[in-house]
Structure 1
Amino acid sequence: MADPFIPVFRIGPLDCVTLGGVRYRRHEQNLVGGYILARVDDPKVTAPFSHARIHQLSEQPGYAFEKGAFDPGVIKARHEGGLDRLGDLPKKEVDELLWRYRLCHGFLRMERKKRATRSDRSIKAVLPLIQAEMAVEEEKKAARLNANGDLLQPRAGEPIPPARRSPSPRTLRTWLRRLEAGQWKAIALRKRLRLCGDRITQRFTHEERTLLAEYALKYASETRPTIQDIYRLFAAEVERRNGERKPMGLPLLRLPSYHRMCQEIRALPAFDVYAGRHGLPAAMAKFAMVANGADVERPLQRVEIDEWRVELFALCRDAGILERLSDDLKTQIAAVRLWVCAAIDARTRVILGMKMGPSPDASLALEVLEMVVSSKKPYADAAGARSPWDQCGSPETVVHDQARSFLSVVFRRAVIDLEAEADAPPAGLANMRGRVERLFKTVGMQALSPFTGRTFGSINEKGDYDPEKRVSLELPELCRVLVRWSVDVYHNTPHAGLGGETPANAWKRLVAAYGVIPPPDRHVKRAIFGTEIDRVVSAKGVRVLGLYYNCHELQAYRRQHGDVAVEVKVDSMDLGHVSVRVGDAGWLAVPCLRPLFDDVSVETWRIASAQLRRSFAAEARLNDEIVAAAIRDAWEVAAQAQARAGILTTRPTREELDRDEEKLGFGFPSPERLPEGPSQLGSDLTAAAIPTAGGLTPVPSTTAPTRRRGRAVKFED
């Protein structure tokens, strides 16, 4: 039996990874088959971690990955934006910030194509063109869909989405500078009205500025010094010169801050810096313009996502055969009209996610994006696949067409919160995302061809074939077929686009060579992908599906604001925590006050609750052991239900969770007091939020309640 494949997580020198609850950063020394990691709280303490050990710890609680946590540009963006992700912003700010972000990226695309410069004249000329493209996207987002999921063209006189006023050239240049200085984090474009107040600008002398610029240039050296090294040399030189100036009675030189040195280095031309540190040939290769197609060399560098309407049982109306079908078959056809949304890695051609749903909406696209950053082992096991489906990681760029689901605020916000870039080629440029387009054609030709119920794209392809008499594939079987074909057949078949290599082998080879950006931890994924509901915070915390969630940080927020309604995000596959928005501080991970709910799904809790209701209807109180036994018994039933669903969309909506809240009659009263021990909050509410405002430790709250044997549960009808 072959050894299991171990993915290589690409951890940069400015990234932070939390393993077993301890924060580490990459040490400058290398380790064959892994990394040497240094503790953040004590950099002198280092430890070797193999890739296998890192992957094992990434699947356990106490894992987190913060891309660019020690990058001065990222720190600047977090500090000036006050938060880290768009999902942490109040809803009223998200639309405008996304508009600014898209406008800037539209201009940058035209600048790269040499169609625009940053002069006033050029910006005034291209802004109307960029906004016209954005207006088309807004119309598509607001458009209605017909029964087939196709966009309905707006009629004359119908209202169109309101347009926003164009920025002045000076304002646009300011936005672009803030994006560049903030390492392209969208949060850098957040309005700064909240920062209004008196500011004192310190002006340096000519000698101070000259010395600062001289040492900033030393960063572009083939020895590749760090910014900290440059700043230490700079401080030593300032101290030496002051030692000479003091006896002569000259004014002493002021030492600019480390942050000011970072700004000076970031202002250097990127090409010049890279050429100085890595050589001119490497810089020319890195910054070369690619004229034909996308230049992709790493796994997850470019992930393409698209939608496809399944042709199973569906008779094309244009073929002229719809009228010849019986009423029963027409009813069956209408019942199984489904859409498939899939994501594929452009470099290795590996399928990273696939979901089926009744319509191509934002929720379906969001589920597929979540699969990209998650292991797909449960889906492969449910389909009986023999090969693993564990390819995952954080994407660098997500490419999609201009479908309404991909242009939605929730999808684009999720892409940006994953530290990825969203790229939507203009309509008519399907070749830019040709890999996923070809994948859908391959699915139709290969995966479904063995089944006699498949229809064809045209009446000529159909020939004398009569689908009405030969329907044999049902919906659950279709899900298993698609998964098994993807994992066992497609991933292990030589691919012409890979020079005869299989996608599975290409993934293993290139991940070993380049690594992948680690996926986000469970708390961050919940904050990005969780189902959002509204609840009222009380002394017991917040109640979700009959369970209470509480912690010191949440009660500190309640003491400031009272019993107010809060936004809560729920992971349908893990009821151990929920995420609660604590004002502008972002999302706070709040633990369940009852034990044993980690990795318990909503479906499992539904089944367990129904069993408890049937078995203990006459009881007033239940202890932990009875509840735990009911959950264990429900695991198998829930697993069978999830296996039957397969890749069908099963994410509960806000309305479904609210209905479940009314049905579940078990209330879990909070303890008399909150869990003992020091709170991670301290005096700063944002200390435990995800993420912190401008800090380097966006650690979710993991305050666990003290477990007491036999704590009772009572019915609350």
Structure 2
Amino acid sequence: MERNADRIEYGEDDLIRIDEIEYRHFGSSDQGHRLQRADDYRLFVEYSHTEMAELEGSERYRRHPAWFSTGNARARERSAVTCLAEIPTREHPKILWKNEYVARFLELQKRGEVSSSNRGMEAAIAKIAEEVNKLPCAAISPNIKGKQRKLRSGTMTSTREPPSYRTLQRWLRTFKECAKTPYALRDNYRNCGSHVAPLEPEAEKLMIEVAEEYATQGKPSQDGLYLKLAAEIDALNKDRPSDAALTLPSKRQFIIRIRSLDKFWVYARRYTLEAAERKFAAVEYGLDVSRIGQRIEIDEWTVDLQTLLVRTGVWNVLSSESRKDVRRVRMCLYVAIDCASRCVLAMRLAPNACAAEAVATIRMIISDKSHLSAGANTIGPWFMSTGIGKLVTDWGSGYRSEECRRVVRSMGATFEHPPAGRPHLRGRVERMFSTIKSQFLGYFTGRTSSNVVEKGLYDPGTGASIPVDDLARNLVRYVVDDYHNRPHDGLGGETPRNAWIRLRRENGRLPVPDRHTQRAIFGIKTECVLDNSGVEILGLRYQSRELHDWFTRKGIHDVAIRLDPEDVGHASVLLGDDWLTVPCLSKEVRGLPLKVWQESSLDLSKRYADEAKLSRPILLATVRDLSAIGLQRKLEAGIAEELDTPETLEQARKALTFGFSLPNWDEDDREQQPTDLLDNIIPVPASIPGEAAQPDQSQTPSTVPAWRMGGLSEDVP
């Protein structure tokens, strides 16, 4: 026998259920217990005493004492339950009242104070009644519903009539035959059948047919169908003799018949199968995600708000008449949310849903958004960014596009498309749209309605009062300062911001792609001519030793190039099957956004088209001024900023004067100028807690070629 084993003593007729398999206790020894399968007596299983003690406290284990005894089998057959707890509460008082009479009589009989004769039992009943009538189970009061309740003064109560000696004899016989189990004294009134007179077969059939018409897409009412049933039975009775007339079921009987129909079948017939599947879908605990970026849900939603398609500054100076001509639109809002922390990782406002906006939202997930929160004047920063493990989307055309799928696969992430018509499988982002609608849109006029009844006479177009850029800034402020700091039920009352910080500390987050990989994935793709000076686009030349080596082997030809809209300081050139990162020879533009350089190059080409050579101070002054303007516009646009696309890049190239390019300044000129082109112009956001600072690529020796080509001397080490 095991030392210090916790030995359990089972009865011979005990039923033991382990993992939904029923066993009968067959015997015990010093080593453990032997159990016999209840469904096959030839099979046995053995458990040690320690194992049985551990099972006793687990959910896998259940025990029914004396289950296989003859008395317990009769008690279950008579009461249709396995224990008193399974009987409805309203029946408990009477069962306990019966048990008091039986138990007290057996106790008196054991002490020899009563006899089993008829007169002896009558005397015993009278004696027992005096004591039992004082118990709560003997009282009958209104609305007691099987529970002990304090009654108001003046409430009329009564006690149960004592049983006759024959009734007590029947209770005693049942009690002894059923192994003295109290629930065997349950009344059989539940088996009395229906008190309603049975219908004729023809009337019963007709009632069933009419009741099933409730499950049709016409959505008839129960009252209307009952009138139809009455009319049809009345029509049939006109051709029948009075003694053979069909009985009209009561309205209550007809409604009970309708309610007995299968609920899923009725809902599917009245609405659609998809609607029934959504309504009756099983509710589970939810997703098992514990790491930031492990599962990200993204979707778009047409905002239920009429918005003014004009910037705030323009709207403020328009006259009342001019304001009437401003176009009203409903913008499309893209949202990406992290399922583990419930933090919003990306938002984009666009006039229409398209693949380009979906890709821009995906890039926003992995990007720093501090400039957006600064532009919206939020109290806290929007510092959340992460790599992507699994991206969950619907079957929208933008997410099914080749470009979107290429971007996600290039990042090493996986796609998941739940079946159409199952929004609960993307419940995090769908719930976010409902939260924005209920908590944010209520502050503004111009809200649209889901139906004409809700809309009434209200015209949302006339009530539109917020421009697009204002809506974008306020959305950012709501998410960063309100939603991220509000207790979330799905997080057990924790705020999304605190959940992000906790999960990042405990499990970390997925890494984001490096800047060169991002350029190769998200960069705007176009084609340029490769020659001995490298590649040139928008007046900027990109050259490196590897690129020149490729040129010496292939000669002058067209190559594919990707330009990062966030930084024109480097470009990715496709050489064969591989992307090569090539720096711009003008290090002054490194870190400069594409939009700023487009405006700068266009301005320079117009103002100095006739000059043979541009002076570097002119370039610096122009870029410095336009950088400040571009930053201000970016902050104003926020999440509604227009995208850079291959089409806009091609338009910018055509707008430049033919042959415009930056000259090769002498090294002396470079040294006389400040190295930081945007010094004191673009504020540097505070570093994000836990994020490593990015190195200054402009000061990395490997990115600045130590040699020159195309008119400058070569200093090749």
TM-score (norm: length of structure 2): 0.50
Residue 497 (structure 1) aligned with residue 487 (structure 2): no
Residue 612 (structure 1) aligned with residue 604 (structure 2): yes
> What's the CA shift for 1:535?
1.2
What amino acid sits opposite 2:703 in the alignment? T
Match of 1:633 among 620, 625, 629: 625
* Cα distance in structure 2, aligned partners of 1:471 and 1:413: 39
Structure 1 range deviating more: 340-349 or 438-447: 438-447
* Cα distance in structure 2, aligned partners of 1:469 and 1:337: 13
Q: Which of the two has higher C-alpha Rg?
A: 2
Match of 1:294 among 287, 296, 300: 287
Contact conserved, 1:548 with 1:669, CA < 8 A, in 2?
Answer: no
Residue 446 (structure 1) aligned with residue 439 (structure 2): yes
Q: Counterpart in 2 of 1:85?
A: none
Contact conserved, 2:527 with 2:561, CA < 8 A, in 1?
Answer: yes
Contact conserved, 1:401 with 1:425, CA < 8 A, in 2?
Answer: yes
Contact conserved, 2:292 with 2:386, CA < 8 A, in 1?
Answer: no
Q: Counterpart in 1 of 2:378?
A: 385
> What's the CA shift for 1:468?
4.1
Give per-residue Cα distances to partners, 1:444-476, cap 9 Å, x unaligned: 222221111222222333345343442211111
Give per-residue Cα distances to partners, 1:593-641, cap 9 Å, x unaligned: 1121111012211332344346545532123333123212211100111
Q: Percent identity?
A: 39
Structure 2 SS opposite 1:567: strand
Contact conserved, 2:487 with 2:496, CA < 8 A, in 1?
Answer: yes
> What's the CA shift for 1:647?
0.8
Give per-residue Cα distances to partners, 1:201-228, cap 9 Å, x unaligned: xxxxxxxxxxxxxxxxxxxxxxxxxxxx
Q: Counterpart in 1 of 2:565?
A: 572
* Cα distance in structure 2, aligned partners of 1:364 and 1:531: 14
Give per-residue Cα distances to partners, 1:281-316, cap 9 Å, x unaligned: xxxxxxxxx97642111111110001111222289x
> What's the CA shift for 1:548?
0.9
Q: Counterpart in 2 of 1:589?
A: 581
Q: Counterpart in 2 of 1:38?
A: none
Contact conserved, 2:367 with 2:385, CA < 8 A, in 1?
Answer: yes
Q: Counterpart in 2 of 1:231?
A: none
* Cα distance in structure 2, aligned partners of 1:706 and 1:601: 25
Taking a change above 3 Å as real, the CA distance of residues 562 and 330 of structure 1, as seen in their structure-2 partners, is farther
Structure 1 SS opposite 2:587: coil
What amino acid sits opposite 1:474 in the alignment? P
Match of 1:522 among 515, 519, 537: 515
| Structure 1 vs Structure 2 CA RMSD | 2.9
Contact conserved, 1:537 with 1:564, CA < 8 A, in 2?
Answer: yes
Contact conserved, 1:579 with 1:590, CA < 8 A, in 2?
Answer: yes
Q: How does 1:52-201 map to 2 (within 5 A)?
A: none
Q: Counterpart in 2 of 1:353?
A: 346
Give per-residue Cα distances to partners, 1:158-183, cap 9 Å, x unaligned: xxxxxxxxxxxxxxxxxxxxxxxxxx
* Cα distance in structure 2, aligned partners of 1:291 and 1:587: 46
Taking a change above 3 Å as real, the CA distance of residues 306 and 340 of structure 1, as seen in their structure-2 partners, is same
> What's the CA shift for 1:328?
10
Q: Counterpart in 2 of 1:92?
A: none
* Cα distance in structure 1, aligned partners of 2:461 and 2:662: 53
Contact conserved, 1:367 with 1:649, CA < 8 A, in 2?
Answer: no
Q: Counterpart in 1 of 2:232?
A: none
* Cα distance in structure 2, aligned partners of 1:475 and 1:603: 20
* Cα distance in structure 2, aligned partners of 1:503 and 1:610: 44
> What's the CA shift for 1:559?
1.9
> What's the CA shift for 1:411?
1.1
Taking a change above 3 Å as real, the CA distance of residues 466 and 343 of structure 1, as seen in their structure-2 partners, is same
Taking a change above 3 Å as real, the CA distance of residues 621 and 550 of structure 1, as seen in their structure-2 partners, is same
* Cα distance in structure 2, aligned partners of 1:613 and 1:531: 23
| 5+ long unaligned stretches in structure 1 | 1-289, 316-326, 674-699, 713-717
Q: Counterpart in 1 of 2:661?
A: 667
What amino acid sits opposite 1:396 in the alignment? G
Contact conserved, 2:294 with 2:510, CA < 8 A, in 1?
Answer: no
What amino acid sits opposite 2:512 in the alignment? P
* Cα distance in structure 1, aligned partners of 2:346 and 2:303: 16
What amino acid sits opposite 2:625 in the alignment? D
* Cα distance in structure 2, aligned partners of 1:629 and 1:706: 27
Q: How does 1:220-231 map to 2 (within 5 A)?
A: none
Match of 2:506 among 513, 520, 528: 513
Structure 2 SS opposite 1:422: strand
What amino acid sits opposite 1:313 in the alignment? Q
* Cα distance in structure 2, aligned partners of 1:299 and 1:540: 45
* Cα distance in structure 1, aligned partners of 2:422 and 2:505: 33
Contact conserved, 1:447 with 1:481, CA < 8 A, in 2?
Answer: no
> What's the CA shift for 1:562?
1.9
Q: Counterpart in 1 of 2:474?
A: 481
* Cα distance in structure 1, aligned partners of 2:603 and 2:468: 29
Taking a change above 3 Å as real, the CA distance of residues 470 and 428 of structure 1, as seen in their structure-2 partners, is closer
Q: Counterpart in 1 of 2:225?
A: none
Residue 423 (structure 1) aligned with residue 450 (structure 2): no
Residue 404 (structure 1) aligned with residue 373 (structure 2): no
Residue 655 (structure 1) aligned with residue 650 (structure 2): no
Contact conserved, 1:580 with 1:587, CA < 8 A, in 2?
Answer: yes
Taking a change above 3 Å as real, the CA distance of residues 651 and 466 of structure 1, as seen in their structure-2 partners, is closer
Contact conserved, 1:536 with 1:542, CA < 8 A, in 2?
Answer: yes
Taking a change above 3 Å as real, the CA distance of residues 564 and 485 of structure 1, as seen in their structure-2 partners, is same
Divergent runs of 4+, >4 A: 327-333, 669-673
* Cα distance in structure 2, aligned partners of 1:292 and 1:403: 27
* Cα distance in structure 2, aligned partners of 1:669 and 1:328: 47
> What's the CA shift for 1:354?
0.7
Residue 603 (structure 1) aligned with residue 595 (structure 2): yes
* Cα distance in structure 1, aligned partners of 2:666 and 2:619: 20
What amino acid sits opposite 1:516 in the alignment? R
* Cα distance in structure 2, aligned partners of 1:414 and 1:468: 38
* Cα distance in structure 2, aligned partners of 1:707 and 1:354: 44
What amino acid sits opposite 1:393 in the alignment? T
Contact conserved, 1:548 with 1:670, CA < 8 A, in 2?
Answer: no
What amino acid sits opposite 1:595 in the alignment? K
Structure 2 SS opposite 1:456: coil
Contact conserved, 1:353 with 1:369, CA < 8 A, in 2?
Answer: yes
Contact conserved, 2:568 with 2:591, CA < 8 A, in 1?
Answer: yes
> What's the CA shift for 1:421?
1.3
Q: Number of aligned pairs?
A: 382
Q: Counterpart in 2 of 1:414?
A: 407
Q: Counterpart in 2 of 1:622?
A: 614
TM-score (norm: length of structure 1): 0.50
Contact conserved, 1:590 with 1:702, CA < 8 A, in 2?
Answer: no
Residue 563 (structure 1) aligned with residue 537 (structure 2): no
Contact conserved, 1:312 with 1:453, CA < 8 A, in 2?
Answer: yes
* Cα distance in structure 1, aligned partners of 2:664 and 2:559: 18
> What's the CA shift for 1:521?
1.4
* Cα distance in structure 2, aligned partners of 1:468 and 1:369: 32
What amino acid sits opposite 2:644 in the alignment? P
Structure having greater relative contact order (Cα 8 Å, sep ≥ 6): 1
Q: Counterpart in 1 of 2:361?
A: 368
Q: Counterpart in 1 of 2:705?
A: 705
* Cα distance in structure 1, aligned partners of 2:284 and 2:529: 55
Structure 1 SS opposite 2:373: helix
Q: Counterpart in 1 of 2:219?
A: none
Contact conserved, 1:591 with 1:702, CA < 8 A, in 2?
Answer: no
> What's the CA shift for 1:332?
5.0
Taking a change above 3 Å as real, the CA distance of residues 618 and 413 of structure 1, as seen in their structure-2 partners, is closer
* Cα distance in structure 1, aligned partners of 2:526 and 2:325: 35
